[in-house]
């Protein structure tokens, strides 16, 4: 039986439950970042967040450290934590790495096209289309990330799935902060087109599609936005 890799925060399926208070806080902060309520560069003071969530600074620090491990938050000594602010160089590096890996894995996906892991790709495409029709941009970003991770899982190599999960978590952050609706539905076509190419044994064409797909997404990224202002965490997170 094939098991999914331990996916990062940005590809965690919707509805999954947090197992601890600090993990619940991680999820809420993450959602605020994805929803653009917390802008890149926004300060995340432990005392203000502790008051908002009604927990100790120690619990807040644990949550921020988990987000920092995912590179979603930056933490500096004597300067505190801020929402990560990826620059153009980091964004470029992330998408270059994805192009190198995800183009190369297409032949292995073709070889495993009859697996259960591959069949899950069609379900994700259907969910992605529904999110697009309903104008749910952030959900579409997450589903797009999950599609790419599942594509790697469909190779049968779960280590590869872990690597792609890490890269898609970073690119999803970049898209959520700096992208537009075209960052998901780029001109090179939908994920349905990729699956059709794979299933018709057009492996080289599928590789070209993937390369153009990832490059087209990167070209929509605008990393010149201003840093976030100080915010009222109590009004944002209090029940």
Domain boundaries, the chain: 9-85, 88-219
Tens of pLDDT along the chain (239 residues)?
A: 344 444 444 444 444 555 688 889 998 898 787 667 888 889 999 999 999 999 999 999 999 999 998 788 999 888 899 998 888 888 899 999 999 999 999 999 999 999 999 999 999 999 999 988 898 877 887 788 889 999 999 999 988 998 898 888 788 778 767 776 566 555 455 899 999 999 999 999 999 999 999 998 888 887 665 555 667 787 778 65
Question: What Cα–Cα distance (Å) separates residue 132 from each residue in 119, 120, 179?
Answer: 21, 19, 15
Architecture of domain 88-219: Up-down Bundle (1.20)
Residue located via tokens 């970042």 = 33
Tokens of 233: 């965490």
Q: How many CB atoms lie within 10 A of CB 66?
A: 18
Instruction: Classify domain 9-85 at the CATH topology level.
Output: Arc Repressor Mutant, subunit A (1.10.10)
């Amino acid at each position: 039986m094939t098991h999914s890799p331990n996916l990062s925060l940005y590809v965690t399926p919707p509805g999954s439950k947090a197992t601890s208070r600090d993990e619940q806080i991680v999820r809420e902060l993450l959602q605020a970042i994805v929803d653009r309520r917390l802008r890149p560069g926004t300060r995340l003071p432990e005392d203000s967040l502790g008051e908002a969530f009604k927990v100790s600074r120690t619990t807040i620090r644990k949550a921020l450290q988990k987000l920092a491990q995912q590179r979603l938050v930056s933490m500096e000594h004597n300067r505190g934590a801020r929402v990560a602010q990826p620059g153009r160089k980091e964004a470029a590096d992330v998408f270059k790495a994805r192009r190198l890996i995800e183009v190369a894995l297409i032949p292995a996906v073709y070889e495993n096209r009859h697996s259960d892991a591959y069949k899950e790709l069609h379900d994700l495409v259907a969910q992605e289309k529904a999110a697009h029709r309903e104008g749910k941009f952030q959900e579409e970003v997450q589903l797009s990330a999950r599609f790419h991770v599942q594509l790697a899982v469909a190779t049968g190599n779960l280590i590869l799935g872990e690597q792609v999960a890490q890269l898609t978590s970073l690119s999803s952050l970049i898209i959520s902060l700096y992208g537009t609706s075209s960052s998901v539905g780029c001109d090179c076509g939908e994920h349905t087109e990729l699956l059709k190419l794979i299933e018709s044994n057009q492996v080289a064409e599928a590789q070209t599609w993937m390369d153009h797909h990832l490059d087209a997404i990167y070209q929509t990224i605008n990393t010149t936005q201003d840093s976030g202002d100080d915010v009222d965490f109590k009004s944002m997170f209090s029940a």
